Every structure is written in structure tokens, then in C-alpha cells.
Structure 1
């Protein structure tokens, strides 16, 4: 049966829930749509070197290594995910206003730490609620999630248009406005509670002792890590070779537009498909995408490979969510989401972004070749997952 988020006249409560979840991802990715393409540009305008920019961009990813698991395990134990989300979203709004106070590297580093503690955990917490509600109300996760990608496009293209007519100082104000919207939407999120207490002991240690879960983390970790140079220096590089901010926003938007199409139509394809197959498709696309971006700044080649973001990120994300939905009991779901986000977006992507600083200073766009190598490692892990896990439901139930 192909689930849908439509037909509100048949089930108004189902439609309201789907709308709220879609708005949550929209608010979250309004922030990301400004931050990912243009925050490196703002940091560069403060007079920072490529190495310093790499450190500041990687700090939130490293901080989430500690913040996400602590917050997630607490949420799993209490069953309360909405309250910490509201606190985190509110603190983020306040902290973003402090960035223009000083361009001192250590001031910016301290604030980057705060961003890591406040913004990063929102995605695993909100995704856990979303997956729970999609299961309970027979909603299509991809069709809910695509609204976040659409918001990313509007934010990245719109921010580029604004910046071409103003100055880079507007980046902070756009992040502040997006943060206010994100906070307001978070207050409307559902608040599902777990039906029974968690098993005794640490859910994080329990999951990390499972070999299949570690292989899964290798799949998503190296796949996400391969985006390090793209997230940190794509806009800086495109600006340096003469592209306007509006064109840079268009480049980013093309990739996310392809991701939206994937989320809209992939539900039937993903359902029942082994996650390892999906991981493999994303990894092969990554090898191709990063080699091309490392080889040429030609506008038509960029237009050609940017849609591969639907595979390098989109299909990989669906594979990651599908594995957790099938293999992990609900009482461990937030911990699993957190570990996945912490290690893939924290350790792997954080390390890749940090390394991209000195690599970009030395090799320029050829740094993408190192990202292609990470995609190749992700491909090897995807084959390993297919051999090690047969697709059993609730694999980690005691």
C-alpha cells in the first residue's frame, strides 16, 4: 500500500500531523539553506583563513558527538522529546545574534560550540518523532521530509538573491529570522511518549556492541563524510572563480531540487528494499560527483552533476532511516538516530570538514578527489551490510 500525506477530508487529524511534521523540516532547513552555502562566505568576510574556516565549520559537528547522545539517551529514558527541542531551538536563536559582536577567532569558536549543542540535536529528536508518527498514521516519510528540502532551496536561492543586492552581513540576520520560524514551529510538534521504560543499562553501549549496527554506521558515516569539501568550500570556491551569489544559490538549489523529486517518488521503491542496496547507489553517485567537481569549474558540468545530490545525500538518508525503522525497537529509536547523526555528521563529516581546510589551501578544488575516495569506502561498507544483515525486523530486540 502506497501511503500518502493527502486526503485530509478522510482523516483531518492525520492531515494536521503530516502538515506539522512537514513544517518542522521546513523550519529546520530554512536555517540550513542559509547556513550551509553562505556561512563560510560570512566567515571569510571576517578575515579568517581557509584553515580557520575549516575549524569553525567542523566545531558544531564535533560538539554533537557529545551533545546528541546525551540528549537522545535522556529523551529515550523520559519519553519526552518535544520539551528539549523547544529549549534548544530557543537558545540557538539567541546565540546566533552574538556572532557579529566580534570577529575574534576564539569568540567565534565559542559560539560555534553553542551552535553544536543547540541546533544539531534537533534533527535526530525531530526525526524520531516523525518516524513514530509516520508509522502510527501511515504517512509516507519521504513526502513529509521533502518539504525540508523545498525550504532549503527557497532559503539558499533567496539568500543568494538578497546578498547580491546587499552585503554578507545580512547572512546573520537571515539565520536569525529562520531560527525564529524554526522555534515557532517546534512548539507545535507532536509529543508521542514511549509505551514502556527503556531496558536497563546504556542504550548507546548496547547498540555499539552490535556488529551489524557498526557496519551500518560505516555506510552512513563515510557517505556523509564525503560531503565535507562540498559543505565547507563549494561556495567559497565558486565565488573565487567568479560566480555570483545568486548563481551559487542556484547550484545548491539544483541538487536539493533533485532530492525533493526523489523524496516524492521513492517511497514505493525504498519500501522493502535492502538498505545496503540504497547505500551502494548513493556511494557510486558520490564517486562520480566528486571526481567531476574536482576536475572542472565549467557551469554545464556543475549543472550536470548537482542532481546527483539526490543520490549522495537523499537515497543515503532514506537508507539510514529505513534501517532504523526496521531494525531498531521504538524505545531505542532516539538513541539510534542520535548515534547515526553523531558519528556520521559529527565524527565523519566533522573530520572531513576540518581536513578540507588545509587540503583546500594546498590542492584547491582537487580536494574533491579525497571525497571520492571516502565514497568508495562507503561503497565497500554497503556491500558488507548486504552480506551481514538479511533485513530482519526488530533485529536488536532482546
Structure 2
């Protein structure tokens, strides 16, 4: 029954307030995740190195979470699509992650660290596809700009990476674990406030994962995002280690990482109109071409000004590629399959492709140093070829995979 006391102006005000509240908590979701990532990506290799591990062992430990998500993400995502419930598993996973971080300082034994890395892969990795599915759903339902919601995660990454570098220059690497623990507590608190839409109908029968993997266009799409993300393997695993080895301070390393993410934020802030209506294959091509340039430069020089010059290309190699991946799923995939699609994308791109690349970067960096980036440039070139294939194979139809 309609409330007779509600005027059109009041209804409009309530609607605007509801949109703002939803946008705020969705933005905070990304803040929580990327506070963790902002410490983990630049400085976890540094912590592992301080435990006396070799480059090869570091590569294995860094790749393990990515490999675990190959199994964890699809299982959790398919369950979420069948039940329509995404928030409850996110709370369980976020809580277990916080507890597992505390166990890392117990021993520097390789196998102890490997076991905990498996737990991290199982608990932290699925949070992004689960939360992104909720975010995309709420953005469509409430006419919110996904890019402007997502950019707050990038701001959190800058705060965490620069702040952690500043802390470490005045303390010791042991603080890396405690910063990850504090970020995990913040993340869990935010997860408790996430919306919990229950609008998707469970699939009637069969596996949503197998259904998607039988679609040639979806496989080409996975090639685009997979090789593009895999090309970041050496950067994510050994950029900080290498910059530290050539004499850059932890604070300067934090600045290097922050420059790339600042550019990513600027992209997310203004890219909404540009992305809307653009073919995802074209966006993938822009990111892949930028990757070729970025990795060739980082592989050939440690000059501070060249590093500063190419770090903004992170807006293309990661940012525009991420928007292309989300845009394809939002346009081509029915909502009942959205979490499975997000999970397959994250599993294969951040699991199989990036995991393999990080693992390979260990021996590559051990033998060739920063020239390992040249292999990353080759992966970006393959991603570029897949992006052209996607443009030829898919016309951009909405709900492509509706039977």
C-alpha cells in the first residue's frame, strides 16, 4: 500500500539516499580487498625473501594461491549461483583468511608456508568474483557507474602500498604480516555490511561451468583476459624484489606501485562513457598493446624516469582490461550465470594464466633478471591477437548465451 505522506520529492530523496548508501558500501567492499592487495602484491615477496627463500621458492609460493583458485573459485561460484546466496560464503572466507594470516610467522619452513598459501588461495581469491557479481548486479539495478565504484579500491591500494613502504622503512619486514592482519580485519567488517540480493533463479539442471566452457566466444574471451593478466606475472612477483636489489628504498617502491594505480583510478573515474557501447575486444586490444610497451621498457632499463614514465600504463594493462572483462560479462551473460562466468574468468586469468606466469617468473628472474619481462611482452602480444579474434567472432549482442 502506498504511503500517502510520501510526496514525489520525498520519494526522489529516498531513492537518491538509497543509491548513495549502496554505492558507498560497494565502494568499501573494494577498499577492504585492496587494502590487503596493496600490502600483499608489493611486499609479500619481500617478506618471503627475508625468510631466506630462493627466487624459485618465492615463485612457487606466490603462484600457489592462484593455482588453488582454479578449484576453489568454480566450486564456490557454482554453489552461489544455484542458491542465489553470495554474502554468507564471503563472510566465512573472510573470517578464515584473517586467522590464517596469523599463522605465517610461526615457521619459515617452505612446506609450512606452502600449506598456508593454499589456505590463502582458497579463502581470499573467491571474494573478488563473489563481490563483483553483487556489485555489477546492484550497479545495473540502481544505475550506478561501476568504474566510479571500483576506483575506491584502487585508492585503497595506493594508500596501502605507499603507507606500507613508509612503515617498513622505519621498522622491519615482520610488520608485513601484521599489516595484512589489520587489513583483513577491516575487510571482514566491511563484508558484514554488503548487500545480499536474492534475485537470481537457480539453474534448472546441468553445470553452468560446463555450459559456458562449451561456448567458443566465451573461450576466446578467456584467451583475451587470460594472456593479458598472465603478462603481469613477473611484475607482481619480482618487481619489488628487483627494485630493492638495484637500490630503491621501500618508500620509492611504494611510489612506483602507486603511480600505476593513480593512473588506473583516473581511468575508472572517466571511462564509464567511453566503455559503454565500445566493443570489449577493442578495449582488450588497447590493454594488450600497452602491455607490450610497458614490459619491453621494464625489461630493458632500471632508470627511475623510465619506470615513472611507463608505470601509468597500468591503467591500460590492468584497468582497461578489467573494464573490458566486466563489460563482456554484463552484456553477454544472463544474471543466473553471472557468478559462474566471473569465477571462470578469475579462475583462468588469475589462476591458470597468472599462476603459471608467476611460477615461471621464478626461474626466469633467477637466470635473466629483469629481462624476464620480455616473456611478459610476448604474452601481451598473444592477448592482442585474441582481442582481434574476439572482435571478429562476436558482434556485441546482449545476453549472447541465452538459449
SS at match of 1:11: helix
Q: Which of residues 36, 48, 52 is equivalent to 1:47? A: 52
Measured in 2, the distance between the counterparts of 1:10 and 1:370 equals: 50
Q: Which of residues 373, 377, 384 is equivalent to 1:372? A: 377
**Does residue 239 of structure 2 align to residue 234 of structure 1?**
yes
Looking at CA atoms only, which structure, 1 or 2, has the larger radius of gyration?
Answer: 2
Measured in 2, the distance between the counterparts of 1:27 and 1:112 equals: 20
| Match in the other structure for 2:400 | 395
Matches within 5 A, 1:259-270: 259-270=264-275
Measured in 2, the distance between the counterparts of 1:30 and 1:198 equals: 35
CA contact (8 A) 2:200 2:335 kept: no
Measured in 2, the distance between the counterparts of 1:303 and 1:161 equals: 19
TM-superposed CA distance for 1:199, in Å, is 3.4
| Match in the other structure for 1:177 | 182
Measured in 2, the distance between the counterparts of 1:156 and 1:63 equals: 25
Measured in 1, the distance between the counterparts of 2:169 and 2:263 equals: 25
Q: Which of residues 13, 20, 25 is equivalent to 2:18? A: 13
The number of aligned residues is: 392
Q: Which of residues 322, 325, 332 is equivalent to 2:327? A: 322
**Does residue 346 of structure 2 align to residue 341 of structure 1?**
yes
| Match in the other structure for 1:211 | 216
Q: Deviations 1:85-140 (Å, cap 9, x if unpaired)?
A: 00000000000000000000000000000000000000000000000000000000
TM-superposed CA distance for 1:10, in Å, is 5.8
TM-superposed CA distance for 1:8, in Å, is 7.5
TM-superposed CA distance for 1:193, in Å, is 1.1
| Match in the other structure for 1:60 | 65
| Match in the other structure for 2:287 | 282
| Match in the other structure for 2:173 | 168
TM-superposed CA distance for 1:11, in Å, is 1.1
TM-superposed CA distance for 1:190, in Å, is 0.3
SS at match of 1:338: helix
| Match in the other structure for 2:124 | 119
| Match in the other structure for 2:360 | 355
SS at match of 1:83: helix
Q: Deviations 1:11-61 (Å, cap 9, x if unpaired)?
A: 111100000000000000000000000000000000000000000000000
Measured in 2, the distance between the counterparts of 1:182 and 1:27 equals: 4
Q: Deviations 1:275-317 (Å, cap 9, x if unpaired)?
A: 0000000000000000000000000000000000000000000
Gaps of 5+ in 1: 1-6
SS at match of 2:95: helix
| Match in the other structure for 2:300 | 295
TM-superposed CA distance for 1:198, in Å, is 1.3
SS at match of 1:192: coil
TM-superposed CA distance for 1:197, in Å, is 2.1
**Does residue 136 of structure 2 align to residue 131 of structure 1?**
yes
Measured in 1, the distance between the counterparts of 2:210 and 2:198 equals: 23
TM-superposed CA distance for 1:196, in Å, is 2.1
CA contact (8 A) 1:8 1:14 kept: no
Gaps of 5+ in 2: 1-11
Measured in 2, the distance between the counterparts of 1:9 and 1:264 equals: 25
Measured in 2, the distance between the counterparts of 1:58 and 1:226 equals: 14
CA contact (8 A) 2:81 2:200 kept: no
**Does residue 370 of structure 2 align to residue 385 of structure 1?**
no
| Match in the other structure for 1:4 | none
Q: Which of residues 72, 92, 98 is equivalent to 2:97? A: 92
Moved over 4 A (4+): 7-10
CA contact (8 A) 1:8 1:15 kept: no
